[in-house]
Amino acid sequence: MRVEQHRQCDQRSLHIVYTLFGDGRSHNWVKELCTLLRKERARARKETRVNSCRRESIIRVIGKCRDLGILIIFISVIYSTKGLSGGKWYAPKLPNVLNTYDEGNPMRDFAEGIISRKDEVIVYKQYSSSFLGTSLSSLLVSMGIDTTLICGYSTSGCVRATTLDAMQHGFSPYVVREACGDRHEAVSDSNLSDMDQRLAEVRTEEWTLKHLDASFGEQK
């Protein structure tokens, strides 16, 4: 379903599900993940710079939605009881990465420049999908929201899983290309291409901002 088709809808019919998978220190998490999994330090530094650009894109999309009065929901990962709430994904698979999302760890903070406001909801999760084991679906349904605009980290993990579940729960998912990042740019590009073919409408930041203005600017 195209954004153009929502011009006559209530403002709440378009919604951002923001799946941030980073930290407050210019995406050191992405750099650490590259080093831990691939031992490619030079590439890790390059990908950190790339993901800083992704962060700036996310900030611009959030700013536009705030200007237009479009509701934003932030998604945050959190683990308690030494990772037990993360099940097998936490302990056997990625303990040295996912422990950065333990309750009380400052690495859990959203990336620099991305701060939720008091009137914006934060949904807490333990797995890749923002829908799995959370109240997100019921929240969207209760507000009459039928379209999700998704951005964040990582493209192959949280963004893709959330996009798939958004579609399977009956929502129309849009993904902002420049506002998604991963441990390697090639991984992000491959997943964006596949999602665009099978799961969602993947659009550029420029397209997204223009269509948000066209669809919702006149409703202000």
Read off the tokens for 150: 């998704």
Query: Would you call 121 helix, strand, or coil by DSSP?
Result: strand
Q: Is residue 2 a part of any domain in this protein?
A: no
Pairwise CA distance, residues 175 & 36, whole Å? 28
Burial (CB count within 10 angstroms: exposed 0-12, middle 13-18, buried 19+), residue 131: buried
Residues annotated as catalytic are 158
**So what's the pLDDT on residue 7?**
33
Locus of tokens 């999309």: 61
Longest alpha-carbon distance in the chain: 51
Query: What percent of the chain shows pLDDT beyond 70?
Result: 75
Pairwise CA distance, residues 200 & 86, whole Å? 27
Q: Is 35 within 8 Å of 44 (Cβ atoms)?
A: yes
Q: For the chain, what is the mean pLDDT?
A: 77
List the domain range (segments joined by +) for residue 215. Answer: 9-219
Least confident of 12-26, 31-45, 70-84: 12-26
User: Which has the higher per-residue pLDDT, 50 or 198?
Assistant: 198
Is the pTM of the predicted complex or chain greater than 0.95? no
80-130 pLDDT, tens digit each? 877 778 887 777 777 777 888 888 887 777 877 888 889 888 999 999 999
Computed on alpha carbons and rounded to an integer, the radius of gyration of the chain in Å comes to 17
Q: Is residue 43 a part of any domain in this protein?
A: yes
Q: Is 14 within 8 Å of 3 (Cβ atoms)?
A: yes
Q: Is residue 49 a part of any domain in this protein?
A: yes
Mean pLDDT, to the nearest integer, of 3-31? 38
Q: Is residue 72 a part of any domain in this protein?
A: yes
Q: Is 150 within 8 Å of 162 (Cβ atoms)?
A: yes
Mean pLDDT, to the nearest integer, of 36-60? 62
Pairwise CA distance, residues 47 & 114, whole Å? 19
Q: Is residue 102 a part of any domain in this protein?
A: yes
The count of structural domains within the chain is 1
Q: Is residue 186 a part of any domain in this protein?
A: yes
121-155 pLDDT, tens digit each? 899 999 999 999 999 999 888 888 888 999 988 89
Q: Is residue 3 a part of any domain in this protein?
A: no
Read off the tokens for 220: 């202000």
Residue type at position 154? S
Q: Is residue 1 a part of any domain in this protein?
A: no
Q: How many residues does the chain have?
A: 220
CATH code: domain of residue 182 = 3.40.50.850
Locus of tokens 């590009």: 189
**So what's the pLDDT on residue 88?**
78
CA trace torsion 75, 165, 194, 174 (10° rounding): -60
**So what's the pLDDT on residue 91?**
75
Question: Does position 44 have pLDDT exceeding 50, yes or no?
Answer: no
